[in-house]
Chains A and B, each alone.
Chain A
Amino acid sequence: MSEAKEPIELIRTPIELEYTFSAGQSASRFLRGMAEGKLLGQKCPVDGRVYFPSRGSCPQHGMPFTGETVELTDRGTVVTYAIVRVPSQNILLELPYIAVQVLLDGADTVLMHVLKAKLEDVHMGMRVKATWRAKSEWTTSVGNILYFEPTGEPDAPYDSYKEHI
């Protein structure tokens, strides 16, 4: 009845901790903007560079942002991209998909998102525009933008985004 038992060589010790995470001022401002279909960046008080999304202070100067926001358009330039083919537990998108860093017009930092386009078409400098969910589905989330899509415009010149790669 009893089987010869193998010695135990490893044990499972799962941990689970629960938090009530609070986004803070800057992220809350950004997410509330998203809920209204607005892309809100913030300006560094020292050199005027626009950070989107922002985190409360300028990461270069350590200077706190004021409460003032800069509203950005939802058009921009692909500064770099990666085609993701390897599955992972946390990936909810269908593979392969194109991960892009988009420099929105007027911003000095990039937004990470997804591009809906043919794999062979994506390239640096591609001009793109956000495709939003139905307004009725908007929440305080960057996911209100479903993906970016090419606009068909001529590419942005390299000089216009080379500082932001």
Chain B
Amino acid sequence: MAAQPKIQPSLTAPHKLAYTYKRSLGPVLSRFFTALRDRQVLGVRRADGTVMVPPKEYDPETGEALSELVPVADTGVVTSWAWVHRPRARQPLAQPFAYALIQLDGAATPLLHVVDAGAESAMRTGMRVRARWAEQPAGAITDIQAFEPA
């Protein structure tokens, strides 16, 4: 290869990539998000009788179509957590918080969400939490602003 020229400093520029996605929900998720607007969490019943949250259109194990949506509680148990002591701008809370897997009462699978516990010392696997709902739920996963220690 011919001798390469000396590397010069490159020009740089800030670049923002933004997409205004509008997503169709389909019959299962439509009911899930409509229920969130009413401050209710729905799971879906799988072939084995257990309830999966969040609901999916097809069973991850058997592949069969699922349609029976079942209310679960908005309280549950933390099955794992990770303490974010320096939240990023886009993340749900400005103060340190935990991402957590939360198994809501009535569900067999945990939901990925956030716990606003105030301090890392207040977090514990197995702790009970309750949803803190937005003042005006709009039909989004963020209608649950965060879970709080219950």
Interface residues, chain A, CB within 8 Å of chain B?
Answer: 5, 7-25, 27-29, 31-32, 45, 64, 66-68, 140
Known: A5-B37, A8-B25. A21 touches B12 (CB 8 A): yes
Q: How far is the CA of A64 from the CA of B4 in the complex (A)?
A: 8
Known: A11-B22, A14-B19, A15-B19. A67 touches B5 (CB 8 A): yes
Q: Is the CB of A16 within 8 A of B2?
A: no
Please give me the 7 A-B residue pairs with the lowest Cβ-Cβ distance, nearest first. Answer: A67-B5, A8-B139, A21-B15, A19-B15, A16-B18, A28-B11, A23-B11
Q: Is the CB of B15 within 8 A of A18?
A: yes
Q: Does B33 contact A (CB under 8 A)?
A: yes
Q: A15-B17, A19-B14 are known contacts; what are 10 more A-B pairs with Cβ within 8 Å?
A: A8-B34, A8-B139, A9-B25, A12-B22, A13-B22, A15-B19, A20-B15, A23-B11, A24-B10, A25-B8
Q: Which residues of A contact B15 (CB under 8 A)?
A: 18-21
Q: Does B1 contact A (CB under 8 A)?
A: yes
Per DSSP, chain A at the interface is: mixed
Q: Is the CB of A20 within 8 A of B37?
A: no
Q: Is the CB of B11 within 8 A of A19?
A: no
Known: A32-B11, A67-B6. A18 touches B16 (CB 8 A): yes
Q: Is the CB of A11 within 8 A of B14?
A: no
Name which residue of chain A comes closest to B29, CB basis: A11
Q: Name A11's contact: one of B4, B12, B13, B33 (CB within 8 Å).
A: B33
Q: Does B86 contact A (CB under 8 A)?
A: no
Name which residue of chain A comes closest to B14, CB basis: A20
Q: Which residues of B contact A45 (CB under 8 A)?
A: 2
CB-defined A-B contacts under 8 Å, sample of 10: A7-B31, A10-B22, A13-B21, A13-B23, A15-B21, A16-B90, A25-B8, A28-B9, A64-B4, A67-B6
Q: Is the CB of A20 within 8 A of B19?
A: no
Q: Is the CB of B12 within 8 A of A23?
A: yes
Q: Is the CB of B33 within 8 A of A31?
A: no
Q: Which residues of B contact A29 (CB under 8 A)?
A: 8
Q: How far is the CA of A28 from the CA of B7 in the complex (A)?
A: 11
Name which residue of chain B comes closest to A24, CB basis: B10
How close is B57's CB to chain A, nearest CB, in angstroms? 15
How close is B142's CB to chain A, nearest CB, in angstroms? 10
Known: A9-B24, A11-B25, A14-B19. A25 touches B10 (CB 8 A): yes
